[in-house]
Amino acid sequence: MSINLSSEALVRVEELKNYYPSKKSAVMPLLQLVQEELGKISEEGILWVAEQVEMSPVHVRELVTFYSMYTTKERGQYHFQVCRTLSCAVMGEGSKKICQAIEKRCDVKEKAVSANGLWSFEQVECLGSCGTGPMCEINDTYFENLTTEKITEIINLIEQEKPDLKFSTKKDALGSGLKNYSPSAVYTKE
């Protein structure tokens, strides 16, 4: 089984296979890598990963459905994950309002991709950003202390700047991000 990975990714694959005491432990980062490279984890991706870590395909398939960060469906270029758990739901305007603002501004329904392929959106459970709620993770970057106004402004900026908000397993780093937005607000100097 072969899938279309960049040469850079293939180097990383070999590194990951030797990173743990057992090759099988590399299954999660490899799935992550496949998802980053191809946008989703397809059946071919599952078979390829299974071959790499010497596991049965059914076992790998099981992991893909068990862990909620893996997807077998195509997502938009910018994927919104709005935290819906208690703190984010009750603080400020509340997460429901943020969801409505995203749906309206991006013309996208939950768990679907917008017509222009740019946006997709879902509600997720606690993302560990309770003090700065409501919040939303766009690709792999946190946007915190949201208001309907602020999320609309962020979406406008994304549309203009087309920033890289993804985490790269190849580089072990987050993308360049949005200008004037720090990657984390969990600690703010007073």
Contacting positions for another protein (CB under 8 A) = 19-22, 24-29, 31-32, 53, 55, 59, 62-63, 66-70, 84-87, 89-91, 124-133, 137, 140-142, 167, 172-174, 183-184, 186-189
Instruction: Please say which residue, 1 or 173, places its beta carbon nearer to another protein.
Output: 173
Nearer Cβ to another protein (63/118):
63
Determine phi and psi for 66, rounding to 5 degrees.
Answer: -75, -45
Q: What token pair was written down for 115? A: 């017509």
87 versus 152: smaller Cβ distance to another protein: 87
| Shortest separation between residue 58's beta carbon and another protein, angstroms | 12
- When the beta carbons of 89 and 152 are compared against another protein, the nearer one is 89
- Least distance to another protein, CB of residue 113, Å: 20
DSSP 111: T
Q: Which two tokens stand for residue 22?
A: 């057992």
Beta strands in 16-66 (DSSP E): none
Helical packing angle, 27-38 and 57-66, nearest 10°:
70
Looking at the chain, how many residues does it have? 190
* Cα–Cα distance for residue pair 52/49, rounded to 1 Å: 5
CB of 116 to another protein, least distance (A): 25
What count of other Cβ atoms lies within 10 Å of the Cβ of residue 99?
Answer: 21
Nearer to another protein, 152 or 167 (CB): 167
What is the C-alpha separation between 29 and 23, in angstroms, rounded? 11
